[in-house]
Structure 1
């Protein structure tokens, strides 16, 4: 089916081809993030001689790179098209992997952190794969197109950690140097796939279409405040605990392979439920799903505080992934109620910048908190923020019910 209008081009055959390519690219190129999550703190810990609290800086640099890349990614792809943006980002990802490998060989912490930041910037484009898959799809096929790309995200959670396990000793005794060479190779494979993606550039918007309310007005809405707060806390708390977990596992005598497999199960738990989270939101409501996600984040910390065995770490990581999925996706769905179609790009970019900015702060502080106060403190810090967000959700629901009654 192909339909052309002055506003869009709908072609499900092209959409299916793009969705398959983008799903495969997500599985291969998207594995870079899980590679950095699984190994970045460990590499940083090995490189630092004195202040080990900075070991999580590489992961923070990756997240900060993603935050700074969200707005440029949108601008570049609006100007030059999806394929040009994706291919350029894949090249940057390959360069980041090569630079990171060189930094590991040279034992250069700042250079390694810079490489992770560049990889994070490239990752901002990967975040757009699921939207690109729906660009030419009909309304009926859009959910399937997005699901196909999300399936690639699930596979990325396997490809990344398995790459770490297979390559960590490639240049022994220099651990993980081969891992980042492999990361560069994965980005080049993704580049080959992305070269075949075909998405027509959208028509330029008229001044009227590009308008909308001032951002300050949108951000003052109670629903925006609560959805942004829940999205930030869901992602930042996940980052706080996840970033510290590999270091905590190694500190408890577990192996790098145990840590990598733990991250693998965590990423699978993050993306796996995405195939039915939307249906759960439609059935039970956005606020209820966000509440369940926050409760799962708290359950993660409860399990983590119960012991230091491998089963405790892995179970906590799975609960952490599930909590992120329900909390963040539910909060994102809440956010969609706060803007008009012509305001979408600005509000989404602003929200992503806020989220990844706080996530970077959480991952950066994670190492310092772990080093100074211990694993238990990292997990205890989750509870007050969960309680705060649950309180905000309850306040919003009651406020909206009162408003409906008054109206």
Structure 2
């Protein structure tokens, strides 16, 4: 394996993901506001976000199959290209005051995100197992760039479009078109050789017999304890994180917090999610996937216990930071565990199923969070998070034990 080549491709993935993440967050900043203006009713405010989440979930597996057949470069390039198309459709939607077209844009952006999120697996498979979590963590850190740059793009891009005689609300969608297109071009022309080819080279160097063995049936792969644990951990961490994060601004609004306080709390949460990814990746490689999953579950429980105890913005900033950090532990560790448990051609199929299930659960959790908040308040949301995280610890204890892998069969 040529180490310099793997590092170069990791930088390319990082740059592309950073640009794409910034464009997505910029669009998300105004999506609900623009939806209400186009439709004329506040009841549709959450629909674009839901359309993005569910399209991301439903297309994760087909995109993974595409990557498995044609490589990461083709799948990622196509995903970024659809993101650029989504930005373009969003521009047309706002120009023509069309809410249905805005939903089409949201769906395209969701499909694009479903592809881009699988870039973390491309990063991990280019390096040996003992470095995999660090490399996945470095790509997840690209989300920090997006979190910082994305909101900053909203006003200047809007001013630019306004100076050209267009609606300033078009700014983020114009940014999505340009940045997604740049990401797609960068990946298509420079992500060579394909990360999957490097993964095969590593497998050959480390275990030649593995390369010669046929891919195991999907049903057998989903029965592997480590695969089950990776999927369950990702699903629980994503769901708890999304539900608590989505309801925190509403909880703060009920306690008369201003937008500046809410922004502070969400910024702290984003820092916890992405800002320490390189460090958590190192810790995962150093102390192991299972230990880190335990740590992630415990940090999420601590966050959920503390969150409803005070409405002070600094306390909430600390608890939401912990929530983001717990998610980061679970997200990076489960992604690494899933990659470790699978062989080359098996990875894309199971990784696609993983992302589909995770984002479907997060989407339904987001929809359910409103009624749950109305019924039991912020405390009910927190209690649900505690229950799910405790259940996760039980799964870690049961499925994280050393296992004898089932015999390999060449079932057709």
* TM-score of the two chains, using structure 2 as the length reference: 0.77
1:29-76, Cα deviation, whole Å (9 max, x unpaired): 122343355444555567777774x64333232222222232333343
The residue number in structure 1 matching 2:190 is: 197
Q: Is the 8 Å Cα contact of residues 136 and 281 (structure 2) preserved in structure 1?
A: no
The reply on whether 1:218 has 2:221 as its aligned counterpart is yes
The 5 A counterparts of 1:39-58 are 39-41=30-32, 52=43, 55-58=45-48
Indicate yes or no: 2:117 matched with 1:114.
Answer: no
Aligned counterparts of 1:166 and 1:368: Cα–Cα separation in 2: 37
Quote the residue 1:60 is aligned against.
50
Q: 2:353 aligns with which of 350, 355, 358?
A: 350
For residues 323-354 of structure 1, what are the alpha-carbon distances to aligned partners after superposition, in whole Å with 9 as ceiling and x for unaligned? 10112222334434544455333222222222
| Aligned counterpart for 2:22 among listed residues 22, 31, 40 | 31
Moved more, 23-32 or 332-341: 332-341
Check the 8 A contact 1:34/1:267 in 2, yes or no.
no
Superposed counterparts of 1:54-133, under 5 Å: 55-103=45-93, 109-133=99-123
The answer to whether the Cα contact below 8 Å between 1:58 and 1:113 also exists between their aligned partners in 2 is yes
What secondary structure does 2:149 align onto? helix
- Whether 1:152 and 2:142 are equivalent positions in the alignment is yes
Distance 1:30 1:365 in 2: 26
**How many equivalent residue pairs?**
388
Instruction: Give, in whole Å, the separation in 2 of the partners of 1:136 and 1:331.
Output: 17
Question: Matched residues in 2 for 1:308 and 1:49: separation?
Answer: 33
Q: Which moved more, 1:303-312 or 1:32-41?
A: 32-41
Residues 209 and 220 (structure 1), Cα distance of their counterparts in 2 relative to 1, 3 Å cut: same
Deviations 1:283-328 (A, max 9, x none): 4333332122122222223333123343244333312210101122
Change (3 A) 1:12 1:165: same
Of 168, 173, 176, 1:180 maps to: 173
Specify which of 274, 286, 291 is matched with residue 277 of structure 2: 274
Structure 1 position 19 matched with structure 2 position 10: yes
**Contact 2:133–2:282 under 8 Å retained in 1:** no
Cα RMSD after superposing both structures: 3.9
Deviations 1:229-275 (A, max 9, x none): 22210111111122333444455544556545544433332123321
Equivalent in the alignment of 2:366: 363
Equivalent of 2:310 in 287, 307, 311? 307
Kept in 1: contact 2:134–2:278 (CA 8 A): no
| Runs (5+) with no aligned partner, structure 1 | 1-9
The answer (yes or no) to whether the contact 1:38–1:259 under 8 Å persists in 2 is no
**Equivalent-residue separation in structure 2 for 1:176 and 1:286 (angstroms):** 43
Q: Which residue of 1 aligns with 2:205?
A: none
The answer (yes or no) to whether the contact 2:18–2:143 under 8 Å persists in 1 is yes
Q: Distance in 1 between matches of 2:221 and 2:135?
A: 30
CA deviation after TM superposition for structure 1 residue 222, in Å: 4.0
Corresponding position of 1:331: 334
Among 232, 235, 245, the residue aligned to 1:232: 235
Aligned residue number for residue 7 of structure 1? none
Assess if the C-alpha contact under 8 Å between 2:133 and 2:285 holds in 1: no
Q: Which stretch shows the higher mean deviation, 139-148 or 300-309?
A: 139-148
* Consecutive unaligned residues in structure 2, runs of 5 or more: 201-210, 405-412
Deviation, structure 1 residue 366:
2.9
Q: Partner of 1:387 in structure 2? A: 390
Q: How far apart, in 1, do the equivalents of 2:11 and 2:386 lie?
A: 40
